[in-house]
Structure 1
Amino acid sequence: MEWIGFTLLAAFMQSWRNALQSKLSAHVSVAGVTLARFLWASPIALLYLMILYWIEPAPLPSVTLKGASFIVGASIMQIVATALMVKLFQQKNYAIGAGLAKSEALVAAILGLLFFGTALTAMGWIGVLIGGVAVFILSAGKGIQSLSYKTLLIGLACGGSFAITSLWIREASLNLSLPFPHRAAWVLFVVISLQTLMLLIYILKREPNTMQDLRSHSRYTVATSFTSCIGSLGWFSAMSLQAVPYVKTLGQIEVLFTLLISTFWLGQKVARKDIIGLILIAIAAMLVMLQ
């Protein structure tokens, strides 16, 4: 049951990372906020990897072409997903944007079943479907008539991108002939390093002033990188141990942390209807725990 602990750690850290990115997005471009997620994460991931080898020596990984393609694909897709998440913050308030991105669990369950041979139990599917209903409620604004299709589409695209990223990360990890913590740590380090390199090249070429913006808000930048890296460590480890649909459905417990952060730290109000949607997502996560 280690995957449960790693998932809860990931959900908690991701809720703080999203809050920090939401703050940073008021001062930095979408690409810059996305880079903040990875900029200082590589050294942390490398330190974690070194500690693992110090505690339990293991061979170096032997990467196949198939495994490498999963790593590169996941690196690119996670950048896309993070950029869409920042766009969500600019569409609606912080808590609702994070809630919409939780469509990831439903998409991961469907894609996992179709392409990777993973499946949920009956109770697990009920949980995923409840989460899907919650996402619809969260995206409906002040009512069905005022449903923002733009926000809904961005939210679903964000969740779908995160779902594909998660599925590919799990496959990349399973393709490494290493013990559990080492294979997850290697995928984490390589993915974050690739993402940092790609974003740095893009920003230095297209948005050179963005680096100064990040330096001007270094506290939020470093905090975003730290919470992102620890959160990814939790996600990558959990997905190395358990199928993505289970991990991501349980990971929806993040919305409880999100609600607290949104209310008490960001000072944003959440409507009664939105609270119902967030509670439904929490129920979906509990069903996965009980299945």
Structure 2
Amino acid sequence: MDAWIPITIAAAFLQNLRSALQKHLRGTLGTRGASFVRFGYGFPIALVYVTALHSGAGYSLPRLSPGFLLWAVIGGLAQIYATILLVHLFSLRNFAVGTAYSKTEPVQAALFGFLLLGERLSVGAVLAIVVGVIGVMLISIARSPLSWKSIAAALVGRTALIGIASGAIFGLSAVAYRSAALALGGPNAVMQAAVTLACVTGFQTIYMLVWMLIRDRAEIGRVIRSWRSSSLVGLAGVLGSTCWFTAMALQPVAYVRALGQIELVFTFAASFFLFKERVNRLEVLGCLLIVSGILGLLMS
């Protein structure tokens, strides 16, 4: 088995764990605070990881190039705003449904590739996108009376738009991180991923800290007081990001994100067992259609 496969599965599990912990924090912290802990409490761990690889394993430190810094900043900012949207989405719908909306990420990437880069889509790809859109519609109308109004809301409603935007920005972030890691040209994929993670989380920590100092200083105090729960989010987040970054340094983003859809299995388990949230049949069918559409798109 190729190394990137178990690494990606571990990344999906850790990401789901981090999202579950963030949803729990949403009751005591605001959206910015719940998003910040992922980076602020994860940054020291990322530094320790790089130090261990350098001092313990003997891996040399790669030289940071302007191209690397540009992609790292783009990816870091994209991940911040995608995370904020996802955390906000949890307050609008339940945990499983909120995560499913963000899983339209590969579909978004294909559409942006067609619109911005002129990449042609095959008939199979178009059908896969239609299947994914139907899945999103089913999720949105699962708890509402079936009508043209509910169908329209599934496509352009507030929850749908926030979820789809989150998936699109996460897609941009993933591509930027792979580009940043490859721009380093370090000793190996593990060290390239580790340095990328440390630089990105450091930038994200500073950016969000300044943001909260300007917009909501009281939130910083709440983040500090919730250090027990917040540190767990940071730990799960940085471990998951380590796995994602390493997998994407080894393999193209499309393959990694396709396998990463296994996260939905973990999501439904967390939704049912941890949050005691009920997921009806239409929501389950909608999530399955989204995953089928994404996998069909990648296979085509």
CA distance in 2, matches of 1:129, 1:55: 50
Cα offset for 1:220?
2.1
Q: Residues 34-56 of structure 1, C-alpha deviation per residue, up to 9 Å, x if partnerless?
A: 10111110111122222222453
Structure having the higher Rg: 2
Q: Which amino acid aligns with 2:257?
A: K
Which residue of the other structure, out of 204, 224, 228, is the alignment partner of 1:215?
Answer: 224
Bigger shift: 107-116 or 201-210? 107-116
Shift of 1:253: 1.2
Alignment of 1:96-115 (within 5 A): 96-111=97-112
Paired residue type of 2:159: T
Q: Distance in 2 between matches of 1:125 and 1:50?
A: 46
Q: Which residue of 1 aligns with 2:163?
A: 155
Following superposition, the deviation at residue 120 of structure 1 comes to: 10
Asked if structure 1 preserves the Cα contact closer than 8 Å seen for 2:39 and 2:205, the reply is yes
SS of the aligned residue for 1:71 comes to helix
**Which deviations, in whole Å up to 9, do the C-alpha atoms of 1:181-207 show, x marking residues without a partner?**
000111011001100111111112321
* Cα gap change, 1:125 to 1:151, in 2 (>3 Å): same
Task: Assess, with a 3 A threshold, how the Cα gap between structure 1 residues 115 and 171 changes in structure 2: closer, same or farther.
Answer: farther
Match of 2:279 among 264, 267, 270: 270
Shift of 1:284: 5.8
CA deviations on 1:181-239 (whole Å, 9 max, x unpaired) are: 00011101100110011111111232111122223332321111111111111111111
CA RMSD, 1 decimal: 2.8
Structure 1 position 112, deviation (Å): 5.7
Q: Which residue of 2 aligns with 1:248?
A: 257
Q: Which residue of 2 aligns with 1:71?
A: 72
Aligned to 1:228: 237
Aligned twin of 2:139: 138
Q: Tell me the amino acid that sits aligned with residue 235 of structure 2.
A: F
* Cα deviation 1:119-145 (Å, max 9, x = unaligned): 999989877765554334323343464
Name the stretch that deviates more: 30-39 or 142-151.
142-151
CA distance in 1, matches of 2:190, 2:123: 30
Tell me the SS of whatever aligns to 1:175. helix
* AA partner of residue 160 (structure 2): L
Residue in structure 2 matched with residue 41 of structure 1 by the alignment: 42
1:72 partner amino acid: V
Q: Which moved more, 1:218-227 or 1:46-55?
A: 46-55
Over 3 Å counting, the alpha-carbon distance change for 1:239 and 1:140 in structure 2 is farther
Per the alignment, do residues 182 and 268 of structure 1 end up closer, same or farther by CA in structure 2, a change over 3 Å counting?
Answer: same
* TM-score, length of structure 1 as denominator length: 0.89
Residue 232 of structure 1 aligns to a residue in which SS? helix
Shift of 1:244: 1.3
Q: Which residues of structure 1 form unaligned runs of 5+?
A: none
Q: Name the aligned partner's letter for residue 159 of structure 1.
A: G
Unaligned 5+ runs, structure 2: none
Identity percentage of aligned residues = 32
1:190 and 2:199 correspond: yes
In structure 1, distance between residues paired with 2:61 and 2:135: 43
Moved segments of 4+, more than 6 Å:
113-129, 285-291
Count residues in correspondence. Answer: 291
Q: TM-score, normalised by structure 2?
A: 0.86
